[in-house]
Amino acid sequence: MPHARLLGDLLAERIAAGDIATPDCLVPVPLHPINLRQRGFNQAERLARRIARQLDVSIAMRGIERRRATQRQSMLAASERRANIRDAFACDVDLAGAHIAIVDDVVTTGHTVRALAACLRSAGARRVDLYAVARA
């Protein structure tokens, strides 16, 4: 997917050029396994791989998951998105004191990343940033 390479590299350049602390690891917004099988790839993961390579940080893939299949947020009204994503994520890894950066392609209302950030903070993350290509 050439777009992920380009967008990931551009985002990494922007992060590196800014006055932004480098995180301990990246967490791409996870897809539910059913959605992953249907789509065939996780766009956030592809972006995270490019960013991780450029910033020389790890990607946390294990122990952080979307435990229930939700409707696509883009298909819902803003008022329905929070309820749709509630309790969708699980984190079974100790993140005590870690600085985490969530990676996503597009952020609209922010409900998905807020829910994931809350899950990561519950697992002990001391700081959670967001790296996204676009904000709608």
Give the closest residue to 91 by CA, choosing from 55, 116, 57: 116
Predicted local distance difference test score (pLDDT) of residue 69: 80
Q: Which two tokens stand for residue 1?
A: 């997917």
Kindly give the pairing relationship between strand 99-107 and strand 127-135.
parallel
Q: What is the pLDDT of residue 15?
A: 87
Q: What is the pLDDT of residue 80?
A: 84
Query: What is the reported pLDDT for 46?
Result: 94
The per-residue pLDDT string of the chain (136 residues; one tens digit each, 9 = 90 and over) reads 678 888 988 888 888 887 888 999 999 999 988 888 988 999 999 999 999 999 999 999 889 999 988 777 777 787 788 788 888 899 999 999 999 999 999 998 888 999 999 999 999 999 999 999 988 7
Q: How far is CA 112 from CA 10, 20, 28, 107, in A?
A: 23, 22, 12, 8
Give 3-state DSSP helix, strand, coil % of the chain, rounded to 5: 45, 20, 35
- Confidence at residue 100, expressed as pLDDT on a 0 to 100 scale: 97
The pLDDT value recorded for residue 113 is: 94
User: What's residue 99's pLDDT?
Assistant: 97
